[in-house]
Amino acid sequence: MSTPEPDGFVSRFDAQPTRWSMVQRAHDKSAGDGPAARQYLVMRYSPAIRSYVRAITRNEDQADDITQDVIVRLLQGDFAGADPHKGRFRDLLKTAVRNMTRNVWAKQKVRKSVEFDVSQVEQASIQEHDAAWDEGWQRNLLSLAWRRLEEYQESYASSNAHTVLKLRTDFPDDSSEELAKRLESVLHKPFRADQARQQLRRARVRFAEFLVEEVADMLEAPTPQRIEEELSSLGLLEQIRDCLPTGWANLSN
């Protein structure tokens, strides 16, 4: 008998370990899972790291080379100074990546004749770099939420969440009737317009939940207020605001 699909927004932020616990394990020399924890962090955030390094270097080839070196340093535990009391995880990671990029860049210049200048890191617009980091982080969060939605659909035979939301994203101007026809074509079973609307609504709520959980995962103390602030600062809150249930802040209690 298959597990019934959850109904509605069911997140419980206080019960979820945040990424800080993973950061601490990644740099705890006594922790046997330290290397695995570092690998997990790198794989999770490497897209954002690369886009940020590319914004700093303004060169695809250099970005690839330097990103690899930065990731190696992260895997070796060079983020050990991270402390949740000093700020947000993404801000501390951004600072670490920027400093590592500058150091790697300087070493590359010494090691071989290259045509780039370390001083460009300081001369380039910090605001521009920060915007690139936030954009990369936003894309990464959305990608993680989409991946979880796909896994969710695979876990529940009754769910078409990923399929219907992807169709709506690809064809935003479709009517409910047109969306239903597309669902029929993809899933090979009949759909009415009202069923398509219901499936879409449930998918959007589930996607919002996964996105909220991904944001909560980055915060040392993920209260609903802090989650909303983080979503807003990344330009994501308006995308899901109408999917957050009334009084959703109380779901953490």
Asked if 210 and 231 touch (Cβ cutoff 8 Å), the reply is no
Please write the tens of the pLDDT for every residue from 7-36.
777 665 544 444 555 565 555 655 555 667
User: What are the E-state strand segments in 83-136?
Assistant: none
CA 1 vs CA 5, 6, 54, 98, 157: distances in Å: 12, 15, 49, 51, 11
Single-letter code of the amino acid located at 65? D
| pLDDT (0 to 100) of residue 118 | 46
Q: Hunting for tokens 């980091």 — which residue is that? A: 133
Asked if 58 and 7 touch (Cβ cutoff 8 Å), the reply is no
Please write the tens of the pLDDT for every residue from 107-155.
766 555 445 454 555 555 667 778 888 888 899 899 999 999 999 999 9
Residues 6+ apart with CB under 8 A from 104: 66, 69, 70, 73
Nearest CA among 142, 162, 140, 139 for reference residue 152: 162
Rounded Cα distance, 221 and 150, in Å: 28
Residue 4's pLDDT band, with cuts at 50, 70 and 90, is: confident
